[in-house]
Amino acid sequence: MHACLAEPRPTTRMSSRSERALLLWTALSSALTAAGLNLATSVLDHPRAFDSWPALGLPLAAGYALLAAISLIVFGVTAALGRWRGRDAGWLAAATYVALVLAAALAPLIEVGMREASAERAGVVLVCATGFVVSAALAAHAFARAAGAAGSDVLALLPLASASILGTLWLIEYRSEGPGARALVLLAGAAALAASVWVARRCATPRVLAALSALVLGYAGLDALHDPRPALAPLAAAWDRPPVVLITVDTLRADRVLGPDGPRRVPTPAIDGLLADSVVFSEARAAAPWTKPSLATLLTGLAPLVHGTTNRRARLPREIDTLAERLRAAGYRTGGLGLNAHLEPAFGFDQGFDAYAFPARPDYGIALGARVLERLVPARFPELFPSTAAIAGAAVDWIDDHAQEPFFLWVHVLDPHWPYEPPAEWLAHPELEPRRWGEPAMVTSVQAGNVKPGQAERERVAELYAGEIRYVDAELARVLAALRERGLYERALIVFASDHGEEFWEHGRYEHGHTLYDEVLRVPLAFKLSGAEVRTRVDAPVSTAALMPTVLDLLGLPFDEQQLSSRSLAPWWRAPDEARVEPLFAAGTYYFGEKRGVVFDGKKLVLELDTGRSELYDLTRDPRELSSIAAAAPEAVRRGLQLLCAWQDACAELRGRLGLAVAEGETGSEALRAMRALGYAGTE
Ligand SMILES: [Zn+2]
pLDDT of 38 above 60: yes
The mean pLDDT of the chain is 79
Highest mean pLDDT among 4-13, 176-185, 209-218: 176-185
CB-based contact 244:332 (threshold 8 Å): yes
* Phi and psi, residue 284, nearest 5°: -80, 145
Instruction: Give the Å distance between the CA of 678 and the centre of ligand 1.
Output: 36
The pLDDT tens digits of the residues spanning 346-385 come to 788 999 998 888 764 445 667 888 888 877 776 666 555 6
pLDDT at 566 (0 to 100): 92
CB atoms within 10 A of CB 111: 17
Instruction: Give the Å distance between the CA of 353 and the centre of ligand 1.
Output: 20
Write the single-letter amino acid at 173. E
Instruction: Give the Å distance between the CA of 349 and the centre of ligand 1.
Output: 14
Instruction: Give the Å distance between the CA of 510 and the centre of ligand 1.
Output: 14
Please, what are the domains in the chain?
Answer: 3-225 (no CATH), 244-339+386-579 (3.40.720.10), 593-684 (3.30.1120)
Instruction: Give the Å distance between the CA of 241 and the centre of ligand 1.
Output: 30
pLDDT mean over 299-304: 95
Coil, helix or strand at residue 537: strand
pLDDT at 282 (0 to 100): 94
Instruction: Give the Å distance between the CA of 477 and the centre of ligand 1.
Output: 21
Between 428 and 605, residue with greater pLDDT: 605
Give how far Cα 593 sits from Cα of 3, 302, 311, 613, 644, Å. 59, 22, 12, 12, 17
pLDDT of 493 above 90: yes
pLDDT of 666 above 50: no
Between 362 and 240, residue with greater pLDDT: 240
Q: Mean pLDDT lowest for which of 134-138, 305-309, 565-569, 655-659?
A: 134-138
pTM above 0.75, yes or no: no
Instruction: Give the Å distance between the CA of 457 and the centre of ligand 1.
Output: 23
Pairwise CA distance, residues 37 & 109, whole Å: 10
pLDDT mean over 266-294: 94
Instruction: Give the Å distance between the CA of 48 and the centre of ligand 1.
Output: 22
pLDDT at 53 (0 to 100): 73
With bands split at pLDDT 50, 70 and 90, how would you rate the model's confidence at 279?
very high
Instruction: Give the Å distance between the CA of 620 and the centre of ligand 1.
Output: 27
pLDDT of 147 above 60: no
Instruction: Give the Å distance between the CA of 291 and the centre of ligand 1.
Output: 4
Percent with pLDDT over 90 in the chain: 35
pLDDT at 312 (0 to 100): 77
Pairwise CA distance, residues 534 & 642, whole Å: 37
Coil, helix or strand at residue 212: helix
pLDDT of 268 above 90: yes
Instruction: Give the Å distance between the CA of 524 and the centre of ligand 1.
Output: 13
DSSP collapsed to 3 states, 22-42: HHHHHHHHHHHHHHHHHHHHH
Pairwise CA distance, residues 225 & 127, whole Å: 13
Instruction: Give the Å distance between the CA of 309 and the centre of ligand 1.
Output: 14
Instruction: Give the Å distance between the CA of 488 and the centre of ligand 1.
Output: 28
Instruction: Give the Å distance between the CA of 665 and the centre of ligand 1.
Output: 23
Instruction: Give the Å distance between the CA of 295 and the centre of ligand 1.
Output: 8
Q: Mean pLDDT lowest for which of 119-128, 507-516, 623-632?
A: 119-128
The pLDDT tens digits of the residues spanning 156-178 come to 666 677 667 767 776 776 666 77
Pairwise CA distance, residues 351 & 316, whole Å: 9
pLDDT at 271 (0 to 100): 96
* Phi and psi, residue 580, nearest 5°: -120, 135
pLDDT at 99 (0 to 100): 67
Instruction: Give the Å distance between the CA of 298 and the centre of ligand 1.
Output: 12
CB atoms within 10 A of CB 488: 18
Pairwise CA distance, residues 353 & 244, whole Å: 13
Q: Mean pLDDT lowest for which of 36-50, 443-457, 550-564, 657-671?
A: 657-671
pLDDT mean over 420-427: 86
Pairwise CA distance, residues 460 & 452, whole Å: 14
The pLDDT tens digits of the residues spanning 13-23 come to 445 666 677 67
Instruction: Give the Å distance between the CA of 363 and the centre of ligand 1.
Output: 18
pLDDT at 263 (0 to 100): 78
Pairwise CA distance, residues 509 & 511, whole Å: 7
Residue 10, C-beta contacts closer than 8 angstroms, at least 6 positions apart:
86
Write the single-letter amino acid at 620. T
With bands split at pLDDT 50, 70 and 90, how would you rate the model's confidence at 108?
low
Instruction: Give the Å distance between the CA of 189 and the centre of ligand 1.
Output: 43
Instruction: Give the Å distance between the CA of 307 and the centre of ligand 1.
Output: 17
Peptide bond preceding 416 in cis form (omega within 30 of 0): yes
Rounded CA Rg of the chain: 29
Nearest to 606 by CA among 626, 586, 634, 588: 586
Pairwise CA distance, residues 637 & 628, whole Å: 11
Residue 538, C-beta contacts closer than 8 angstroms, at least 6 positions apart:
279, 280, 281, 282, 283, 569, 572, 573
pLDDT at 190 (0 to 100): 85
